[in-house]
Amino acid sequence: MSMYPSVEVSEFCLEGRFLDFVIKDGYKLKGLLLSTADGEHYIKLAKHLRTAFDLRLPRGTWLQVIGTKKHHYKKDQVTLKAERIMAASSQVTVAAPSPNQSKVQKKQTILMCQKSDCMKRGGKTLCQVLASELSDRGLQDTVDIKGTGCMKKCKAGPNIVMPDKTRYTQVKPSQVAILVDKHFGEEAVIISNQLSSVSQ
């Protein structure tokens, strides 16, 4: 009988460049690949991260990943599971936040239909443009884009719902900058008149 446990669980904190997502069955988000100083790592995402993760995350983005590491001695295999993921700086090492710091600022969430009808009508491009516009304004850490199931407006896709519950249909990439400014910019009153053709 071995004196060592068959599985050892510990915490890990990795910082590195985001390489790609790992998708199963063509649409189920399972994990991500991270390139760090000591090599490439596959990191499984905890369930709460799979549903909330921004799939438009640009490759090469610096991330800090905190979670649990399982060492399976019988298989001589190490598995990493992310519990928290944050934007990181390559120049600055960020200490793991204590539990009472983790909810200092509540993130706002933009909901976006991920079903095939919306994707066929330009949803994928819209996701990328939306992520880019948020990033350009420095909002990537305070605003999440969350994929959802069908919003029951398939023929009017792509469909998005802003944090204040305002719904937009048939959104074109050229209209995204106006929407982002309306909901997250300082000039909401001035540009709201330009949106009459976007809002349904």
Structure tokens of 148?
């959802």
Pairwise CA distance, residues 49 & 28, whole Å:
12
Write out pLDDT tens, residues 62-113. Answer: 888 899 999 887 888 889 999 988 886 544 333 334 444 444 446 788 888 8
Q: What is the DSSP letter of 132?
A: H
User: Is pLDDT of 11 > 70?
Assistant: yes
- In whole angstroms, what is the distance from residue 32 CA to residue 54 CA? 12
Phi, psi (degrees; rounded to nearest 5) at 88 = -130, 165
Q: From CA 45, how far away is CA 31, in angstroms rounded?
A: 5
Instruction: Give the pLDDT of residue 27.
Output: 78
Compute the radius of gyration of the chain from its Cα atoms: 20
Of residues 171, 147, 167, the one with CA closest to residue 157 = 171
Domains and CATH numbers, the chain: 7-101 (2.40.50.140), 108-195 (3.40.30.10)
Give the tens place of pLDDT for each residue, 13-43.
888 999 988 988 877 889 999 998 888 999 9
